[in-house]
Amino acid sequence: MNINGYLDMTDKIVIITGASKGLGKGMADMFAEARAKVYLISRSEELLQANVKSIKARGGRADYVAGDLNLNSFIHESVLQIRRKENRIDVLVNNAGIVVPKKALEITEEDWENTIDTNLKSVFFSSQAVATVMKDQGGGKIINVASVMGAVADVSISPYCASKGGVIQLSKAFALEWARYNIQVNAVAPGYVKTEMNSEAFKSEFYQNYILNKIPQKRLGSIDDIAGTAIFLASPLANYITGQTIFVDGGWTAQ
C-alpha cells in the first residue's frame, strides 16, 4: 500500500471535541478531506451547523452534537448516540479547551474549576466513554490535544499549564491501560498557533515579538501543522506509537 493509502480515512468514524472553531474546526476539515465521517462536538450549535454545512458542500461527510462537555451525562449520551448510528467509533480527538489569562494571585476558584473541567476532566470522561466502544470493537485511536505549556510554562496561565500537563500524563496512563485492547492513545502538543482563542493577544506587537523570539523557526504554527499530526496519529502509520506526546512547536521545547 502506498503512503496515500495509509493516510486514507475512508469510512472511519471520527469524533472531534471543541470543533466549532480554531484547531478543532481545522482538524475536522482535514479528517473530512481524508474521507472520514466526522462528528463535531461543542457548545455552539450555530457554528457547528455552519461547519458541517461547509464540509458537506465540499463533498465530505459530517454531523454534529451540541452540548456541554463539562457534563458527564452529555458526554455519555453523545457517545451512545453516535455508536447507535454508526455502530463504531474509530478515532476520538479531545480538543476542547479554554485559557484564563490571569496572574496566579488573581485566579478564582471558578477560573480554576472551569479550566480543569474543560481541559482535563472532559478529556478523561470522553476518553472513558469512547474507549468502552473501542474495546468492544477491537481497537481505535485517541488523540489528546495538550500544549507546549504542559511541559514548560509561562506567566499568567497557571491553571492552563496544570491542565495541559495533566493531559500529557493522562495520555500515558490511558495508553498503558488500554494497549491490551489495541487502543493507541497519544497527545499532540501545539506551540503557538493563532486562533480565535488568542487573536486578541496577538494584536499586541510586543506580545507577538515576545512569542516569535522564543520559537527557533521564527514563525507561528498553522492549524494545518496540528491537523496533519493528528491525521498521522490516527493512521495505521502510528499503530506502534502509544503513550507519546508530539510537540508541534517550531522547536520551542528543544531549547
Instruction: Establish if 208 belongs to a structural domain.
Output: no
Query: 36: domain range?
Result: 3-194+222-249
Instruction: Establish if 213 belongs to a structural domain.
Output: no
Instruction: Establish if 177 belongs to a structural domain.
Output: yes
Instruction: Establish if 211 belongs to a structural domain.
Output: no
Instruction: Establish if 19 belongs to a structural domain.
Output: yes
Q: What is the CATH number of the domain that holds 180?
A: 3.40.50.720
What pTM was computed for the model? Answer: 0.96
Condensed to tens digits (0 to 9), the pLDDT of residues 32-81 reads 999 999 999 999 999 999 999 999 999 999 999 999 999 999 999 999 99
Other beta carbons within 10 angstroms of residue 52's beta carbon come to 21
Is 160 annotated as catalytic?
yes
Within its chain, how far is the Cα of 132 from the centroid? 19
Instruction: Establish if 201 belongs to a structural domain.
Output: no
Condensed to tens digits (0 to 9), the pLDDT of residues 220-251 reads 999 999 999 999 999 999 999 999 999 999 99
Distant-in-sequence, close-in-space partners of 122: CB < 8 Å, separation ≥ 6: 17, 69, 70, 75, 94, 96
User: Which one from 39, 64, 160, 192 is the annotated catalytic residue?
Assistant: 160
**252 pLDDT exceeds 90?**
yes
Give the count of domains, the chain.
1
